[in-house]
Chains A and B, each alone.
Chain A
Amino acid sequence: MHSRNRLILSSSVALGIAVTPASAETLDLGIAIPRLTVAEYHRPYVAIWLEQPGAAPRALSVWYDHDMKDNEGTKWLADVRQFWRAAGRSMKFPSDGVTGATRAPGDQKISFTAGTGPMPKLAPGEYTILVEAAREVGGREVVRLPFSWPPKPGIVRAAGTTELGAVSLSIKK
């Protein structure tokens, strides 16, 4: 616990992000994984990451076959191409707090708290959360959720057309 706090503090300073007293700001993501009627279906690999102009992208969560023997599921992480280029290729997998299991079709939810785990404290500015899904013997799609910090009221909504359904971001103070 101690070491994790220290780690976040030092990286926050390095990124020039203001260290302000924590007010538990929660970012709730809704990600619809479409149910597809295809002969061979595999759950998609899904990557969620944060981008801000002028800062290194930050991986928030990656859903992949993390429990295969010899870490074999990482072989296909490069197929989540935009994520791989933005952040994945310089990471080690499994990644603590980021690695997750693949999820079934349906409405999936995941929440992040600014300043906790993979989500950094956020300085005022413009950000984008990106969600990319890549499916074995299927396609690949990226959906972007732009937002401001401090957050404006309302829900940010976007939608994919093939590998992702409705994707939303709501921020609670």
Chain B
Amino acid sequence: MTSRISHRLALLAAGALMVATPALAHRQWMLPSATILSGDDAWVTVDAAVSNDLFYFDHQPMGTTGIRATAPDGSETKIENAATGRYRSTFDVHLLQKGTYRIENSSNGVMGSYKLGGEEKRLPRGTTSENLKDAIPAGATDVRTSEASNRNEIYVTVGAPTTTVFKPSGKGIELVPVTHPNDLVAGEAATFQFLLDGKPAANLGVTVIPGGNRYRGVLGQMDLKTDAQGKVSVTWPSAGMYWVNASVGGGREGGPPGGPGGPGAGAGAAPPAARPMPTGPQPRRANYVTTLEVLAP
């Protein structure tokens, strides 16, 4: 019961600040048909959904309009055959180049409010840092804004792994490979560096959950923290698909403790005490999700 209450609180908090990504309170994921491919005419098909259990599409589909694929040479590649059903979306990417592709669904939204004529107004959906000026009318007071960068991306490799698609954009949380995300083997340690707005994200909470939890009594979640260089090391306990989430400023998992999205939110802990809405700039909010495939040795 408490979990439902805190879940609702998280939803409320998310609703107050979220724009493009509908449900931070559940787990968003993209699941590729393969991450390591060979051959001269490779395709990958991807399921994209929002759900609690990983990776079971039983709650909401992920929208496909914001999904972008980047080829190993850095050019944009179209997604094909996109379709959205009741519980999941699916789409294909034709992998015509050799190397590593990135498939992402990311958004940089600005949320907030202002007062005009004594009445509090919300910034409209779709507000970004670029169009923020136009969104706030002249005469507005008590302007409060918060930028949220949401990044959900997966990587697939044809032939030998490459790193062009990991060139940081400097926005939100990004993964920089120390170990390539398409070179993961059970029993081996992998190291990744996380950046927040282009700088090493020290002390960042990173949550790793193995897929298949519908048939497990325990979630098997690993709660990790990045070091001063933003690096985190994971030793994969077994082969399979893993969901990885890092967030700052109130994501559901991996966020700072005590916040609406910190560890415990939606997991049966007591709901955090309601805090008054602070004035001035809100804390930086950023969320990162990926799905990694770990192979058997």
Beta-carbon contact of B38 and A88 below 8 Å = yes
Contacts of A82 in B (CB 8 A): 297
- B39 in complex: contacting residue of A74, A85, A90, CB < 8 Å: A74
Contact flags (1/0) for A70-82 with B, using CB distance below 8 Å? 1110111110011
Interface flag for A109 (CB, 8 Å): no
- B295 in complex: contacting residue of A74, A81, A93, CB < 8 Å: A81
Beta-carbon contact of B40 and A70 below 8 Å = yes
Q: Count how many pairs of residues, one from A and one from B, have CB atoms less than 8 Å apart in the complex.
A: 42
Interface flag for A89 (CB, 8 Å): yes
Interface flag for A84 (CB, 8 Å): yes
CB distance from A142 to the nearest CB of B (A): 8
Beta-carbon contact of A75 and B39 below 8 Å = yes
Per the bound structure, the CA–CA distance linking A71 and B40 in Å amounts to: 7
Contacts of B34 in A (CB 8 A): 78
Contacts of A89 in B (CB 8 A): 36, 38, 157, 159-161
Interface centre among B40, B159, B297 (most CB of A within 10 A): B159
Asked if A78 meets B36 with Cβ closer than 8 Å, knowing A89-B159, A90-B159, the reply is yes
Interface flag for B37 (CB, 8 Å): yes
Beta-carbon contact of A70 and B38 below 8 Å = no
Which residues 82-139 in A have Cβ within 8 Å of B in the complex?
82, 84-85, 88-90, 93
Interface flag for B92 (CB, 8 Å): no
Beta-carbon contact of A74 and B38 below 8 Å = yes
Per the bound structure, the CA–CA distance linking A21 and B42 in Å amounts to: 45
Contacts of B157 in A (CB 8 A): 89
Instruction: Give the 6 A-B residue pairs with the shortest CB-CB distance, closest first.
Output: A75-B39, A78-B38, A77-B38, A90-B160, A74-B39, A89-B160
Chain B interface residues toward A at CB < 8 A: 34, 36-42, 157, 159-161, 183, 185, 295-297
Chain A interface residues toward B at CB < 8 A: 70-72, 74-78, 81-82, 84-85, 88-90, 93
Q: Could you name 19 residue pairs across A and B whose Cβ atoms are closer than 8 Å?
A: A70-B40, A70-B41, A71-B39, A72-B39, A72-B41, A74-B40, A75-B37, A75-B38, A75-B42, A77-B38, A77-B39, A78-B39, A81-B295, A82-B297, A85-B185, A85-B295, A88-B38, A89-B38, A93-B38
Other CB < 8 Å A-B pairs besides A82-B297, A90-B159, 8 of them?
A: A71-B39, A72-B39, A74-B39, A76-B38, A78-B34, A89-B157, A89-B161, A90-B160
